[in-house]
Amino acid sequence: MAAPEGVEVTGPLHERYDEILTPEALSFLATLQREFGARRKELLAARAERERKLAAGGTLDFLPETAGVRSDDSWRVAEPAPGLEDRRVEITGPTDRKMTINALNSGAKVWLADFEDANTPLWENMIGGQLNLRDALDRTIDFTDPKTGKSYALKADEELATIVVRPRGWHMEEKHVLVDGQPMSGSLFDFGLYFFHCARRQLAKGRGPYFYLPKMESHLEARLWNDAFNLAQDTLEIPRGTIRATVLIETIPAAFEMEEILYELRDHSAGLNAGRWDYLFSVIKKFRSRGAEFVLPERNAITMTAPFMRAYTELLVRTCHKRGAHAIGGMAAFIPSRKDPEVNKNALEKVRADKTREANDGFDGSWVAHPDLVPVCREVFDGVLGDKPNQRDRLREDVQVSAADLLAVDKTPGEITEAGLRNNIDVALRYLATWLGGNGAVAIHNLMEDAATAEISRSQVWQWIYNGVTLKEGQQVTKELVGQIMDEELATIRAELGQAYDEPRYNQAVALFKEVTLADEYAEFLTTPAYERMP
């Protein structure tokens, strides 16, 4: 395969990879990387500097230098693009072949085609996923399950969900593609390949190239995306504003810059999403060393009715509708059980209550992780929206949220128990073992776990050790206690899996878990050292 000057592909070139990694596509990637790579690193350094200030006792607040953007009531984001007017139910999942077909056929309005938290950045996943998306748009995709013999094929185009691609966050790199000797941005790699190969294919279907943007921490990071969009559109001679992007508000710094983020992307904006699991991870991460005031109860005790979570979601709806943008709710992670109807009944009641709260709060749609939850979410939003495509006209002018409201972590009810500690360790070990094997969306105890929930689990354990938290049962959380429980949970997993227990993979998971929970220095992202362990 010929590569442009200064571009080197170090990943293996499997069948059909030359269809994606063409010289023209690689040249396009190099253009993006050379233009924006340095700015990306500067913005990541700014994140680190803000974190140092928070660790030293600083706080977060709405930015005085952008007060003019917030107070100017005249600006609005672009009107919804084709296929994004009605987003009452969205399904998320990785871009493997079977999921691509099932998600598009699911009855959801939108499919978040995920190269990020529900995926692992295994080289084969990243290029295979691009092939699957292109094949889906060309209607040349099919799949036969080798275990069951069941075949999968796409429904008619008019019945398919709108594809919205989630590239990796700004912190990730693609180590298998070097530009001028340096790994390129994972964000620009994922975005660039999809845009290069599929933008015109999407437009020919009457839709467009649409994206979900993860892990952002500031409006300057949104500005970088906007500039990348403009360069990409200009380079391929596609009109500016054709791209549309929904930003996940899943870091606590971004919650203080929602209006500014919409403003930076206003010609390309498709709204904001309440990425609640990563948001919890961000709260823990940013204030991990600040003492009891910022220690949350165990993961399963934190609900969306906690005051700081209510403040965040209500502000998101208010902000979006003030600017004419969609507000999309959080994930329902429940995976239906084929064996236990009682588990299903109780879980579906919780899903229905969660979606009802979101619909009544003014959200225009919400996320589910499994096709069986699409009808539940759709029914709830149908009940509120009726024939309307959204409720952007519901301005929620009653909402008044202060910085103190967003930071009221200490008002969260709940406990920290031995069972909660064990659950964090168990989930993290199971997830990491599967992640390292190339699968980033893992059903564990009837919940779809992705990188965000694993991040919460390991970050809580680190924070509890650092702050010397005492469990409800009276034990202090120490490195020794965590090590002991880890051994016990591992033995339970081994006994449960029997012959299916993958010893080398779990040994890798244990080593990685120790690295990100027992080390004195906190690892910014679990996925960074995990990626280093991948081929």
The H or E element spanning position 35 is helix 23-55
**3-state percent helix, strand, coil for the chain, nearest multiple of 5:** 50, 15, 35
Which has the closest alpha carbon to 444: 496, 392, 389?
A: 496
In angstroms, rounded to a whole number, what is the distance separating the alpha carbons of residues 211 and 266?
14
Kindly provide the b/e burial profile for residues 40-54, where b requires at least 16 CB atoms within 10 angstroms of the residue's own CB.
Answer: beebeeebeebbeeb
Which position among 135, 190, 364, 450 bears the catalytic label?
450
Q: Taking a C-beta distance cutoff of 8 angstroms, is the pair 338, 362 a contact?
A: no
Tell me which amino acid residue 363 is: F
Active-site residue flag, 450: yes
In angstroms, rounded to a whole number, what is the distance separating the alpha carbons of residues 61 and 214?
21
Q: Taking a C-beta distance cutoff of 8 angstroms, is the pair 419, 329 a contact?
A: no
Token pair for 244: 């549309």
Neighbour count for residue 477 (Cβ, 10 Å): 23
Distances (CA, A) of 47 to 117, 191, 251: 20, 22, 11
Which position among 47, 87, 88, 166 bears the catalytic label?
166
Active-site residue flag, 86: no
* Residues known to be catalytic: 166, 450
